[in-house]
Amino acid sequence: MRSIRFAAAVGAKPCQVESEVRTLEAAGIDLLHVEVMDGHFVPNFGGGPDFVAALRTITELPIEVHLRIEQPDRYVRAFIEAGADIVTVHLEARHDVRKTIELIRSMGCRCGLALNPLTLLEKSLRHLPRVHFLLCLTANPGSWQPLLPETLRKVAEAKAYREAANLAYEIVAEGGVTRESLASVVVHGADRVVLDSRLLGGAEDDPLRELRAAAEEANMGG
């Protein structure tokens, strides 16, 4: 039985980064997830190689960089050299996807391919044998956007295709996942879920343990 893993999106102000990371480490998060946005591919700004380099000096947790930018091939080298363990690029961005994937792999970094909510899985099939992760965005860009239930069909399709084609990529779900929707995301086939770090707060003594328990229950039931 697969074990569901959790990443937390890190987006604190520079003066708060170490405090946020220590909180996530104490919670037992599996990876740190950095959103890099250029204001063009998505209407927000965020992240950069310097931010990743700062994270690398304060934690040994794996760092995943999600490049939500128009020309990821121009910047992947800088992020890998800054300390990224995983670099995820978008199928829809302006680049030669195959060449970008090969560049990431040639630098000894694990590679992910991301699909926007409206992008069909079929568009990505020729690249899936060369990636380690397929990231399915399950919400539109923006803070606290709701999960789009129709995107879970793509997660299920990605799982079915992986089995039929005997591939090994992990399926990542990102966007709008809440305590209430987590079980459905897992049942549809997600191996890893990217959480907003605010979900790890609250009244529970160990909120991530509660989320893991819910995910494992859904995994066994699904």
* C-alpha distances out from residue 222 to 176, 186, 188, 189, 206, Å: 21, 8, 8, 9, 25
Question: Would you write out the chain's pLDDT as a tens digit for each of its 222 residues?
Answer: 578 999 999 875 666 889 889 989 988 999 999 999 876 676 565 788 999 999 999 999 999 999 999 999 999 999 999 999 999 999 999 999 999 999 999 999 999 999 999 999 999 999 999 999 999 999 997 767 899 999 999 999 999 999 999 999 999 999 999 999 999 999 999 999 999 877 776 545 678 988 999 998 998 876
- pTM for this model (two decimals): 0.93
Cα separation, 201 vs 23, in Å, equals 9
Cα separation, 55 vs 60, in Å, equals 9
Cβ(179)–Cβ(6) below 8 Å: no
Torsion angle of C-alpha atoms 138, 107, 159, 165, degrees rounded to 10: 150
Per-domain residue ranges of the chain: 5-221
One-letter identity of residue 183 = A
Torsion angle of C-alpha atoms 160, 149, 94, 86, degrees rounded to 10: -60
Cα separation, 31 vs 18, in Å, equals 15
Fold that domain 5-221 belongs to in CATH: TIM Barrel (3.20.20)
